[in-house]
């Protein structure tokens, strides 16, 4: 029997390939992650093709701009029915995160703003002028985001226990960098495999898996192998 669906399939390819992957994995995924790689090619017109699949969409565009620009940008997606998560950078400002949450609420109640904490590809925060340890920086940004009304965060699965201790079980958490059993890292530095992730996840914890599903072989067979079907 299949466990609770908690995988967002990352469609970081071109439109034709992304649609093929989506159709092959839609019975096993919670939804689809649309990031900058795909969205920059297809825009809102192309995004409608994925909205029509009637599965949750995670629009991962990581906005980091002045509050009014982010607010106006979010409102341009008001006609989409299935966007469930949008991302902003928690390193921007309190005002921007608050305005993002306000704009999302004007669209519909199921749309959640999630704040990016420390990217899973980041290995050394000192390189970008941050003196905190990765753990301390995650704590700071998670608390900041929650205090701004943000409904969830994007963070490494290695931080699940830490984040749950900070903000409880109801806060949304999306974890990139989840791999198959072989746990190939590519450019991700902070990874867990899917089985390890499930040992830590609750119903409000989701993961993002891309390349292990579509890079080699058949996407349907790959996702079924990952979730042990």
What is the per-residue pLDDT across 126-154, written as a single tens digit (0 to 9) for each?
A: 665 666 677 788 898 999 999 999 999 99
> Using an 8 Å Cβ cutoff, are 90 and 153 in contact?
yes
CB 114 within 8 A of CB 152: yes
As a whole number of angstroms, the distance between CA 219 and CA 224 comes to: 8
pLDDT 10s digits, 17-58: 999 999 999 999 999 999 999 999 999 999 999 999 999 999
Q: What is the mean pLDDT of residues 61-90?
A: 96
- Looking at every residue in the chain, the average pLDDT score rounds to 89
Superfamily of domain 7-226: Aldolase class I (3.20.20.70)
SS (HEC) of 109-133: CCCEEEEECCCCCCCCHHHHCCCCC
Confidence check: pLDDT of 107 > 70: yes
Q: Whole-model pTM?
A: 0.89
Each residue's pLDDT tens digit, 169-186: 999 999 998 987 655 545
Q: What amino acid positions are annotated as catalytic residues?
A: 62
Secondary structure element (H or E) that encloses residue 72, with its range = helix 67-75
CA-to-CA separations, 53 to 30, 83, 192, 213, 228, in angstroms, rounded: 12, 11, 29, 19, 24
């Amino acid at each position: 029997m299949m466990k609770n669906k908690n995988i967002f399939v990352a469609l970081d390819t071109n439109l034709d390939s992304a649609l093929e992957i989506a159709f092959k994995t839609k019975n096993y995924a919670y939804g689809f992650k649309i990031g900058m790689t795909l969205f920059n090619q297809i825009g809102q017109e192309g995004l409608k093709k994925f909205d029509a699949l009637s599965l949750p969409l995670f629009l991962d565009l990581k906005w980091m701009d002045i509050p009014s620009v982010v607010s106006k940008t979010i409102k341009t997606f008001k006609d989409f029915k299935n966007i469930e998560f949008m991302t902003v950078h928690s390193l921007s400002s309190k005002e921007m995160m608050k305005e993002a949450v306000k704009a999302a609420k004007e669209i519909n109640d199921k749309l959640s703003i999630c704040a990016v904490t420390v990217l899973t590809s980041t290995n050394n925060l000192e390189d970008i002028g941050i003196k905190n340890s990765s753990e301390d920086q995650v704590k700071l940004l998670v608390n900041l985001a929650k205090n701004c009304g943000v409904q969830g965060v994007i963070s490494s699965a290695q931080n699940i226990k830490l984040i749950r201790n900070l903000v409880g079980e109801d806060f949304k958490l999306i974890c990139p960098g989840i791999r198959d059993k072989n746990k190939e890292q590519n450019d991700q530095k902070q990874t867990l495999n899917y089985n390890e992730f499930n040992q830590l996840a609750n119903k409000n914890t989701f993961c993002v898996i891309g390349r292990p599903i579509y890079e080699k072989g058949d996407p349907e067979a790959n996702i079924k192998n990952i979730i042990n079907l």
